Structure 1
Amino acid sequence: MTGLAPTLPATRPYALAAAAFSAGWSLMMMEILGARLMAPHFGYSVYQWGAIIGVVMTFMAAGYWTGGQLGDGPRAVPALRWALLAGTLAAALTPWLGKPMLADAAARLNAADGAVIGAALILGVPSFALAMVSPICAGLSALSGAAAAGRIYAVGTVGSIGGTFFASFYAIPQVGVSAGYAMAAVLPALACAFVPGGKRMAAAAALGVPLAWAAGYGEGREFAVYRETPHNTVMVREDDREIRLHLNVLWATQSRLRKDGTPTGLYYDLFPAAPALTGGTESGGKRVLVLGLAGGAAAKGILEAWPGADVLGVELDPAVVEVARSHFDLRPEVRVAVDDARRHVETSTEQHDVVIVDLYSTAIIPFFTATREFFEAVERRVAPGGIMLMNVASPQDRDTLVGPLAATQGAVFPSVFLADAGRGNYLLIATKEKRTLDDVRVRLENAPPQVAYAAHRVLDDLTVADTAGHPVLTDDRSDIDLRSLAALYGR
């Protein structure tokens, strides 16, 4: 091939560059946005990301092949217009159609299979259509062979880089997911206008931009706080009785505050009993580290029960800390480190009598905060006579998740105990020194009156954790994502 098709003269190479750039930009934006759209249904597990990347690459391969078949023939220019239009419409309609389709997939399928099907539903069409663009542009280029392919694919890759950073660092945290899809629709619509015969099609495609933007209109109105951040969708619901914090999903409550001051009935009501389990510490068990501060329910309960306690909360998302201060009465004496929990325990030099581990990302424990290496770092932060207490949500299948976590902690701590916190939550209690079950029971039975409720709740079903036959999770090998899905969904 020695020149451009007659319908796209060589004097307009910018049309090809614009098409390739916009296709790469839009597709990568939709991949990042799609992960956020899927998170309420399938979490941020390795299975979700594997499903997204695998589905996108599968449909891109089909798109590359089809674009290559069309790029050298008379249908190249019409195909280019239609590919850009399809990408624009996919971006415009996904905020409207994606949510119900993903909800239906989540209801019908297990979490792992649902993630694959869900990714195909929202990313299959744009991945196929926009992948067609670069080979078509290479075929229409005035250059030939490797030179055409190399330059076109380089421009498309630059667009992909831009779309990735734009979606991650601006669109999601600043304007939200629906508006992000609207922005993803802009460039392919504009690029279509540069393709010969594409102006009318581009004008029609441009109508999809406000359509996508409108999908987010009024979103969050039923919440006291609704905020997109780089880490979470932060949602606060408030009624006459209580205030609840939800991160990414509404079916999981990260913090609950009763306005009348009564117990919430959730697992963090039990955290005030933790200092009573410490022994031989000069501070009387009142140095507490909370990994996963959220709305501060654990910190608040401990301070109320143990006046003068030195509580340090670690929270990754500064927006969550702001909400904890503004809506959940997080007291000013609670010190807060905005940091990653693992990085904190690996770099801090402080020691604490109690370390509370309550770390979740969209209802799933991040794998790197549930490995032997992580617990070794936590153990170094536990003072002599101290304990680590970890919340584990496993409502459908306790042993599939609690067992390996107990075994992993048992590889680091000399004693590990298990208490049923109710509603599918369990507390793993690991001690710095060797302890017996009777010793732990006696400490709880002799707990001060202000923590009697929490202490007796822990005592109700306190046992030595069963670690036999369960794997020890490591940074190199951990299947906690799959185990978490089974523990949460039972399938």
Structure 2
Amino acid sequence: MSALRQAAYGLTLFLTSAGALVVEIVAGRMLAPYVGMSLYTWTAIIAVVLAGLSAGHWIGGRLAAPEITAATARRGIAVALGLAGLFTAGCAPLLKALAVLLGDTTAPPLLLITLLAGGVFLLPSLFVGVVSPVLTKLAIDDAPQRQGPVLGRMFALGAAGSILGTLTAGYLFISWIGSSGTMLAVAGLYLAFAVAYWLQGRKSFVTAPVLALIVLAGVGLGQLPGYAAPCRVESDYYCIRVVDLTPQSGRPSAAMVLDHLAHSLNDRDDPTLLYSPYLDFVARRTESLLAGRPPRAYFIGGGAFTLPRAWAARFPKADLVVAEIDPAVTRVAAEAMWLDVTAPALHVIHADARATLAHLPRDQRFDLILGDAFHDFSIPPHLVTREFHRLVRDRLAPGGAYAINVIDQSENPRFTFALVKTMQRDFPAVEVWLDDDSRRQGGRVTFVVLGLTVPSASSVLRAAAPFRRTWLRWPPDDLAARIAAADVPVLTDDFAPVDRLMVGFLLRPDESLH
């Protein structure tokens, strides 16, 4: 009998520890549609979960005092897991409600991230944290002559469960049943153990209806509107949504949103209509140098496939290679954003863009390499380093250009300064361009940084139709002075503090995050 109890205590600790880490991993995916996914998001999540577990362990230690009977300890486990189950089941609707409430404030994004993470995920972690010391007390009391081995076994099972939870959340559950489904599964696990520990050794029929109500409450939370997935598709990489922009544009059109950042817009009837100023600039500048020749281009990130789609329609004999790491993004672009993946000019590779570029045939060169990959508003660090820029430079055809889309502050774009400083090590000419409307508005803007072998002939590019846009090049002397004054680092594979350089976004209110 003692061996069975030891096995039961160990199994409970193993699986509840797994559940705690599942919640931590899923928390990142759940927050992404509201505040994006960055180093700061994960920092907040890990800190909140650890704070909850620590507080729970402290409370559990009080329940594991020597004078506490086994029956009382088991009831404490049941209550803690029942509450953990309820709060875990309520994460999705609570997050949605808090995001709406806090989104209407002028809170800086960094504060918003912390408040959302703490408000939603602290209590589930706290209540499941109560369980570990109480279970360990029960296991030791059941075998007092083997305190050391029992203590080591329980610690090991807790750690092993955490490993299992991390692996199954990231590799299995999110892509299998989604983040909301995963949270409900964890809640169900907690509630099942709560019922088992409450009823263990009890004959009273009074407690059964009470616990049944707790289970039903947890199931009922799963039916709340908040559990309607905010994603069209929840892939291994993104929460993917498609937003109908027909009312705004007056034409059948849509935008793809990955997590909470829109990745360009597509027009159904005219693929060459480029709503995004930065894509319009890149297309016009590249085409002006080709003299009608079909472009050879490599796209770092597919997103809505806006420019590849436009060029595939205009230049059937073009060579357009798109490295999009997420097959679900391509599938949604084809299903809902009118991308023809069978176009002869288009070649889609579902892999990391840097690794793909490195393994292309060595004689394959491009007129344009366009960097347009983002984790929320920041670019993945391995795509902005000097080592990567050398690879890009060596893949450009004579006269070719490397263009990278950068979201930054207009007033003090420290990341842009660091990127330019880094690119200047390997490109003879590096330019920063911005459309005039964005320059006048200020705030968050989208720069286009060009790496060239020959500087642009003009500092202004104008387009009369259909949007009457004007793009301006940052004056080289002023740019050089600003970079020198900013004292930013050269970005390398060893040191590329992208999130720190962009922390200005997270310390000031920004309408784009509301």
TM-score range, shorter-chain basis?
0.7 to 0.9
1:5 corresponds to: none
- Structure 2 distance, partners of 1:405, 1:174, is 38
> In the alignment, residue 143 of structure 1 is paired with which amino acid?
A
Per-residue deviation, residues 69-107 of structure 1 (Å, max 9, x unmatched): 322423422221121112101111111112222454564
1:188 and 2:175 are equivalent in the alignment: no
Distance in 2 between residues matched to 1:263 and 1:173, nearest whole Å = 33
Cα distance in 2 for partners of 1:428, 1:454 equals: 24
Aligned to 1:53: 46
Q: 1:110–1:373: structure 2 CA closer, same or farther, 3 Å change rule?
A: farther
**Aligned counterpart, 1:479:** 497
Within a 5 Å distance, the mapping from 1:28-39 to structure 2 comes to 28-39=21-32
Letter of the aligned partner of 2:500 in structure 1?
A: L
CA–CA distance in structure 1, aligned partners of residues 423 and 41 of structure 2: 27
Q: 2:262 aligns with which of 231, 253, 268?
A: 253
Aligned 8 A contact 1:396 1:486 in 2: no
How big is the shift at 1:24? 0.9
Question: Partners in 2 of 1:102 and 1:148 — Cα distance?
Answer: 44
Is 1:228 the counterpart of 2:234? The answer is yes
Structure 2 Cα separation of the partners of residues 218 and 9 of structure 1: 42
**Structure 1 pair 478–139 and aligned structure 2 pair: CA distance change class (3 A):** same
Alignment partner of 1:428 is 2:449: yes
Q: Which residue of structure 2 lines up, in the alignment, with residue 407 of structure 1?
A: 421
Pair 417,471 (structure 1): closer, same or farther in 2 beyond 3 Å: same
The within-5 A match list for 1:77-88 is 77-88=74-85
Aligned to 1:154: 156
Distance 2:165 2:285 in 1: 47
Q: How does 1:130-141 map to 2 (within 5 A)?
A: 130-141=128-139
Q: 1:113 to 1:347 in 2, by over 3 A?
A: farther
Equivalents in 2 of 1:11, 1:263: separation in Å?
67
Whether 2:335 is the aligned partner of 1:312: answer no
Amino acid at match of 1:428: V
1:177-326 alignment to 2 at 5 Å?
A: 177-197=179-199, 200=208, 202-215=211-224, 219=228, 226-238=232-244, 239=246, 241-249=252-260, 252-261=261-270, 262-276=273-287, 286-326=295-335
Q: Look up the match of 2:442.
A: none
Q: Distance in 1 between matches of 2:433 and 2:189?
A: 55
| RMSD across aligned positions (CA) | 3.1
Q: 1:134 and 1:218 mapped to 2: Cα distance? A: 29
Task: Percent identity, please.
Answer: 24
Post-superposition Cα deviations, 1:431-480, rounded to whole Å, max 9, x if no partner, equal 1x2x234x3569x79xxxxx885999465446435443443222322332
Partner SS, residue 44 of structure 1: coil
The answer for the alignment partner of 2:143 in structure 1 is 143
Could you tell me whether the CA contact under 8 Å between 1:20 and 1:137 is conserved in 2?
A: yes
Name the aligned partner's letter for residue 111 of structure 1: P
Residues 180 and 229, structure 2, Cα contact 8 Å, conserved in 1: no
1:373 matched residue in structure 2: 387
Whole-Å Cα distance in 1 between the matches of residues 359 and 151 of structure 2? 48
- Secondary structure in 2 matching 1:161: helix
- What's the CA shift string for 1:50-69, capped at 9, x where partnerless? 12112222222222233223
CA contact (8 A) 1:45 1:481 kept: yes
Q: Which residue of 1 aligns with 2:204?
A: none
1:3 matched residue in structure 2: none
Letter in 2 for 1:426: F
Counterpart Cα distance in 2 of 1:305 and 1:375 = 29
Structure 1: tracts of 5 or more residues without a match: 1-7, 446-450
Distance 1:235-1:384 versus aligned 2 partners, 3 A rule: same
1:34-183 equivalences under 5 Å are 34-71=27-64, 72=66, 73-74=68-69, 75-105=72-102, 107-141=105-139, 142-144=142-144, 145-183=147-185
SS of 2:502's equivalent in the other structure is: helix
Distance (whole Å) between structure 1 residues aligned to residue 88 and residue 243 of structure 2: 30
| Contact 2:294–2:315 (Cα < 8 Å) also in 1 | no
Q: Deviations over 1:357-416 (max 9, x none)?
A: 011122322222222222222222222321101111225545233222211211221211
Deviation at 1:245, TM superposition (A): 1.0
What one-letter code is carried by the residue in structure 1 that aligns with 2:402? Answer: M
Which residue among 374, 378, 383 is the counterpart of 1:364? 378
The code of the aligned residue for 2:382 comes to F
C-alpha distance in 2, partners of 1:167/1:426? 36
CA contact (8 A) 2:49 2:122 kept: yes
| Structure 2 residue ranges without an equivalent (≥5) | 201-206, 439-444, 510-514
The amino acid across from 2:73 in the alignment is A
Distance, in Å, in 2 between the alignment partners of 1:441 and 1:98 is: 47
Cα deviation for residue 155 of structure 1 reads 2.5
The code of the aligned residue for 1:79 comes to: G
Decide whether aligned partners of structure 1 residues 346 and 104 sit closer, same or farther in structure 2, where only a CA change above 3 A counts: farther
Structure-1 separation of matches of 2:410 and 2:120:
29
Describe the SS at the equivalent of 1:308.
coil
Structure 1 pair 209–396 and aligned structure 2 pair: CA distance change class (3 A): farther
Mapped partners of 1:59, 1:184: distance in 2: 17
2-structure distance, mates of 1:288, 1:458: 24
Question: What is the aligned counterpart of 1:20 among 7, 13, 34?
Answer: 13
1:468 equivalent among 462, 477, 484: 484
Residue 343 of structure 1 is matched in structure 2 by 355
SS at match of 1:79: helix
Match of 1:384 in 2: 398
* More off after superposition, 256-265 vs 73-82: 256-265
- Measure how far apart 1:34 and its partner are: 1.0
Judged with a 3 Å threshold, the aligned counterparts in structure 2 of structure 1 residues 77 and 179 are, in CA distance, closer, same or farther, namely same
